[in-house]
Amino acid sequence: MKNKCQWLLLIIFFINSFINIDRAEATSQTENSIETIFPTARVLEIVEENKDDYDQSGVQYEHQVVRAQILSGKFKDHIIVTTSENYRFSSKNDKDFWIKENEKVVVQLNVFNDEIVRAEIMSHTRDVPTFFLVTIFIALLLFFGRRQGFKALISISLTLLLIFKFMIPYLFMGHSPVYLAIITGTVVTLITFLLVSGFSKKTVAATIGTVGGLASAAVISIIFSQAMKLTGYHSDDERVLLSISNEISFDMQGILLAGIIIGALGAIMDVAISIASSMEEIRKTNPQITKAQLFTSGMNVGKDIMGTMANTLILAYVGAGLPLLITLYGYESTLSQIIHMEFLAVEILRTAAGSIGLILSIPITAFVTSILINKSVERRQTR
- pLDDT tens-place string over residues 27-54: 455 445 778 888 999 999 888 877 766 6
Long-range contacts of 46-55 (CB under 8 A, 24+ apart): 46/99, 46/100, 46/101, 47/81
Residues of the chain with CATH 2.40.50: 25-125
Strands 35-54 and 104-112: antiparallel
- CA separation for the pair 96, 360 (Å, rounded): 44
Angle value at C-alpha 328, between 322 and 329, nearest 5 degrees: 90
The DSSP symbol for 354 reads H
Radius of gyration of the chain (CA): 26
> Which residues make Cβ contacts (< 8 Å) with residue 136, sequence separation at least 6?
none
Q: Which pLDDT score is estimated for 93?
A: 47
Question: How many beta carbons lie within 10 A of that of residue 122, not counting itself?
Answer: 12
Q: Which pLDDT score is estimated for 56?
A: 63
**Alpha helices (runs of H) in the chain, residue ranges in sequence order:** 2-18, 127-162, 168-172, 177-197, 201-227, 236-240, 252-285, 291-320, 322-330, 335-338, 342-382
Q: Which pLDDT score is estimated for 289?
A: 86
Residues 264-288, buried b or exposed e (16+ Cβ, 10 A)? bbbbbbbbbbbbbbbbbebbeeeee
Residue 64 backbone dihedrals phi, psi, to 5 degrees: -130, 145
**Whether CATH 2.40.50 fits 25-125:** yes
- CA separation for the pair 366, 294 (Å, rounded): 8
Q: Which pLDDT score is estimated for 91?
A: 46
Q: Which pLDDT score is estimated for 23?
A: 41
Q: Which pLDDT score is estimated for 96?
A: 54
CATH classification for the domain delimited by 155-378, as one of 1.20.1080, 3.10.50, 1.10.260, 1.20.1640: 1.20.1640
Q: Which pLDDT score is estimated for 101?
A: 87
Is residue 244 a contact partner of residue 237, using CB atoms and an 8 Å limit?
Answer: no
- CA separation for the pair 46, 49 (Å, rounded): 7
Q: Which pLDDT score is estimated for 370?
A: 92
Q: Which residues of the chain have pLDDT under 70?
A: 1-32, 52-61, 86-97, 234-248, 375-383
Is residue 78 a contact partner of residue 70, using CB atoms and an 8 Å limit?
Answer: yes
Residues making up the chain, counted from first to last: 383
Q: Which pLDDT score is estimated for 268?
A: 92
The per-residue pLDDT for range 86-106, each reduced to its tens digit, is 665 544 444 556 788 888 999
Residues of the chain with CATH 1.20.1640: 155-378
The DSSP symbol for 125 reads -
Q: Which pLDDT score is estimated for 247?
A: 61
Q: Which pLDDT score is estimated for 212?
A: 94
